[in-house]
Structure 1
């Protein structure tokens, strides 16, 4: 009969653990819901502030008309065939990339708020210099000997992903003279954001170098990227944002990250960063692909509280099972009776920790939120353990053990790269402690005789009363 009561209670406790997984799943859903609200805050700010930016260019577009005579075979009224010469004129555009492109960017970040959510935005001061080589124009003339080439007004185009980010109209320094930029990149395709400048006629008597320079203040949020459209590119970027996540086709050649910000340097050539395919698409009428292959960084938040909260909730089942196992052991060793309702309250107190963590971390830093939630949950359970086990020392012992587990969990949450390894070691260590601590227990004696005061064979126990 005592055996049946014990196994029935184990069954009830197992069913209780399964039921407690329902509020655990609810809190995982709550984390996802709060994270989606944060994303809505990003979108809300994005409606009134430029989004993630990509700077591409400049690209030199030189339109031309080609006129030549073409032989055609025609038939006269009598059906006799003869050859005639017809003058044919077609139009095309030659797109040139800089032979050298240098970009220096100093990015100042700040935070914008929507409710309790903060979103990083930035203003980037850009200094763009470089030069074009007119040799491709001379090559085009050489390839069309015997044909008349009439050059039309060239233009310099700069593409950006979000037109709203151009804070003030910049001026272009072209071969020592100043040219005015106009809105829109004036390139074919769907991506028209950016700016362009009409240029004077290019001297084609010999191969020349055409230097250019302009300063640009570009605003955006979340990310900044550069499309390295040049034979040789050199990008130097500095920022006061201390938590960059470098992304794109190439990682920086050198980088320095500190609490005060970071510096990064990219260097690429036409061999390491082939854009001929995108340039050919632009020639065929779709230049949006020039924005796709880029390098840069994302402004990530230093601590993603929702990600860490979600990871901590996944350990809830371990905390519940371990606490219930310890309570069962004290029931058997101390000849106490803990009601299933008391197990339920203990399980709910363990789950409330995660609810406190989620709500507090939205208002204070994660460490402070974790500390307050852990102290509140541990303090409550310590008092409750002391009451249901009729021993303050046992309550303090269990509370100290629970506090130690919370401390270990925080260390695991901070070790992103080694979190799985440390979590596995923690589970193994807990299981090893339980197995070694109970290796000499006579479980038949413990579970077969549950009368208070009856000695248990082969186990030395002390009853503590206060």
Structure 2
């Protein structure tokens, strides 16, 4: 009697909430937990995709080590030794005038580089690797080296010990080289000397007799993979890169002044002044260090459109959306038709959706991505539609299959839209939200559970 007086009787709204209203909240919470649970298999599938992608990169690197590395080339660099009289300390603390060896470095006044490559596809296991063979021509001219600006006496310049340095990190994939100065062929040797710029490459001795301008011409044939880059070394560099590969990705700075891309290949041209590179045309040792790791470059990478691992990874990222909309469709139809769907039915349908991405990846590694996507989608839609129709309701199977087909088609369209993918995805979600609101506008959420409560338990 006391308890009934102290505790007010619950309102009709509260009584209804504790009954059927609580049932609606329980079902929605149950559905939300199921959707979150599906993040586990989707995350595992995404891990498999990343693992396969990493394995492909390892194969590319392995084939690259055998065929040729990422290639980069620059115009020859002229290095001339000279002596200077300097005061050097002795062991007793006094100083003595000594002749010390120094080196002056000169870049070409102008250079023209033309690189043309033919792309090949090499296969290892199930992976395809893009490699190329390149023919490169480098022409240019050095102005007469000027030592007067440094007050170096002519008799202290060792013209006969001059050399040319050629920066070429991928020299191990070099097939042939022909280097000529003023029409005379030079003998090219491997490796750079300590007085040369830091890096890897080749060198050639140049026995000069005095200060004069030098015209050079160099032809190289080499192998490489993925990309070819050029260092614009010289007062004015004219560069042209071309290939029979129709999918270039221009890298470095600046972008080409002119470019042409077609199904037969591409070409790009650059015109770069040394003032834009920040590299002087001449310097003495200690004044400037030419470091290939810090130098600006231009080039082109050979991209592979429709990489199966990248596309599959993008599709998997939409997996939670597909699961949510599929489960939401089953939930809404169940509300409208007063069907109850068991936990195991949701889990089996979710498993079929997760396996779709694994099937897509395994098929795409063996056949074109479009065909793999079609086969995997048909299999996934058929499994989900037949199972839902057989275990829940025929209408449920038909509608779920149609929704899943529309989602797979919509995801494929988003893959093809690089610039408008976010806009299209947002608009699609808004349309789905509006359709869900329309479909559930007459649902009495408080009435959920009343029918089940009215039916006596067996």
TM-score by length of 2: 0.86
> What is the rounded CA distance, in whole Å, between the counterparts of 2:189 and 2:448 in structure 1?
87
Decide whether the 8 Å contact of 1:63 with 1:152 is kept in 2: no
The yes-or-no answer on 1:96 pairing with 2:99 is: no
Distance 1:319 1:54, change over 3 A: same
Rounded to whole Å, the distance in 2 between the matches of 1:146 and 1:118 is 59
Q: For 1:230 and 1:436, how far apart are their aligned partners in 2? A: 68
Show the counterpart of 2:272: 268
Q: Over the residues paired in the alignment, what is the CA RMSD in angstroms?
A: 3.0
Deviation at 1:212, TM superposition (A): 0.6
Aligned partner of 1:158 in structure 2 is 166
The CA deviation at 1:444 is: 2.2
CA distance in 2, matches of 1:108, 1:87: 58
Equivalent of residue 176 in structure 1, options 172, 175, 183: 183
Say yes or no: does 1:356 pair with 2:335: no
Deviations along 1:324-352, whole A, 9 cap, x unmatched? 22212222222323222111111111111
Q: Take 1:146 and 1:129, find their aligned partners in 2: how far apart are those partners?
A: 29
Which structure 2 residue ranges, 5 or more long, are not aligned?
1-18
CA offset at residue 85 of structure 1?
A: 12
Structure 1: where are the runs of 5+ without partners?
73-83, 454-466
Per-residue displacement from partner, 1:402-432 (whole Å, max 9, x unpaired)?
1111111111122223222222222222111
Match of 2:336 among 312, 333, 336: 333
Partner Cα distance (1:137, 1:165) in 2: 37
| Distance in 2, Cα, partners of 1:339 & 1:63 | 86
Structure 2 partner of 1:402? 404
Report what 1:219 is aligned to. 223
Q: Which region of structure 1 is more displaced relative to structure 2, 361-370 or 419-428?
A: 419-428
Counterpart selection for 2:32 from 7, 10, 14: 14
* Equivalent residue, structure 2, for 1:289: 292
Check conservation: 1:55, 1:291, Cα contact below 8 A: no
Q: Distance in 2 between matches of 1:282 and 1:372?
A: 65
| C-alpha distance in structure 1 between counterparts of 2:243 and 2:430, whole Å | 44
Distance 1:184 1:344 in 2: 63
Deviates further, 251-260 or 195-204: 195-204
Instruction: Indicate if the aligned counterparts of 2:252 and 2:298 stay in contact, CA closer than 8 A.
Output: yes
Partner of 1:34: 52
29-38 or 414-423: bigger deviation: 414-423
Match of 2:436 in 1: 434
Deviations 1:91-129, CA, capped at 9 Å, x for gaps: 111111000100111111112222111111111101110
The offset of 1:149, in angstroms, is 4.1
Structure 1: distance between partners of 2:128 and 2:285: 38
Counting only pairs closer than 5 Å after superposition, residues 282-321 of structure 1 correspond to structure 2 as 287-289=290-292, 292-321=295-324
Change (3 A) 1:154 1:283: farther
Deviations 1:17-59 (A, max 9, x none): 2222111111111111111111211222133222101112310
**Counterpart of 2:41?**
23
Indicate which of 386, 390, 406 corresponds to 1:387: 390
What count of residue pairs does the alignment treat as equivalent?
Answer: 434
Q: Does the CA-based 8 Å contact 1:282-1:289 persist in structure 2?
A: no
Moved more, 444-453 or 245-254: 444-453
Partner of 1:144: 152
Higher alpha-carbon deviation: 13-22 or 89-98 = 13-22
* 1:282 to partner: Cα distance: 6.6
The alpha-carbon deviation at position 275 of structure 1 amounts to 1.6
Could you tell me how far apart the structure 2 residues matched to 1:232 and 1:361 are?
47
Structure 1 counterpart of 2:350, from 334, 339, 347: 347
Deviation at 1:227, TM superposition (A): 0.5
- List per-residue Cα deviations over 1:358-402 (Å, max 9, x = no partner): 2111111221111111111011112122213432x5423321221
What's 1:116 paired with? 126
- SS of the counterpart of 2:224? strand
Distance in 2, matches of 1:431 and 1:28, equals: 27
Determine if the alignment matches structure 1 residue 253 to structure 2 residue 260: no
- Do 1:250 and 1:295's aligned partners in 2 also have CA atoms closer than 8 Å? yes
